[in-house]
């Protein structure tokens, strides 16, 4: 059972890294606040379509990562 959880944790880790790299670069938008180059930074923009799917998948994989890590830590 423990090896299955370790394998699942490895797969989830790789998927989580790949999905985070696929997401749009929001840090560069936040960095432009100092220079004043981004007027649309504080506008309420909703994620739609594939971007919303990636965000939700990232949250789900993150939760799964922590739950499996916690289970392995307890054993």
Q: For 14-57, what is each residue's pLDDT tens digit?
A: 999 999 998 876 655 555 556 655 555 556 667 788 888 999 99
pLDDT for position 33: 57
Indicate whether 4 belongs to any domain. yes
9: CB partners within 8 A, 6+ apart = 65, 68, 69, 72
Domain of residue 18, residue span? 1-23+47-75
Tell me the pTM.
0.71
Indicate whether 36 belongs to any domain. no
Indicate whether 8 belongs to any domain. yes
Indicate whether 35 belongs to any domain. no
Which of the pair, 41 or 61, is modelled with greater confidence?
61
Indicate whether 39 belongs to any domain. no
Q: Report how many domains make up the chain.
A: 1
CA torsion 59→65→71→75, rounded to 10°?
-170
Indicate whether 40 belongs to any domain. no
Indicate whether 28 belongs to any domain. no
Indicate whether 37 belongs to any domain. no
């Amino acid at each position: 059972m423990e090896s299955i959880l370790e394998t699942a944790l490895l797969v989830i880790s790789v998927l989580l890294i790949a999905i985070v790299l696929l997401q749009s670069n929001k840090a560069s938008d936040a960095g432009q606040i100092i220079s004043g180059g981004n007027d649309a930074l504080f506008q309420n923009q909703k994620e739609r379509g594939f971007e919303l799917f990636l965000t939700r998948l990232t949250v789900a994989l993150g939760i799964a990562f922590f739950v499996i890590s916690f289970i392995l830590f307890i054993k």
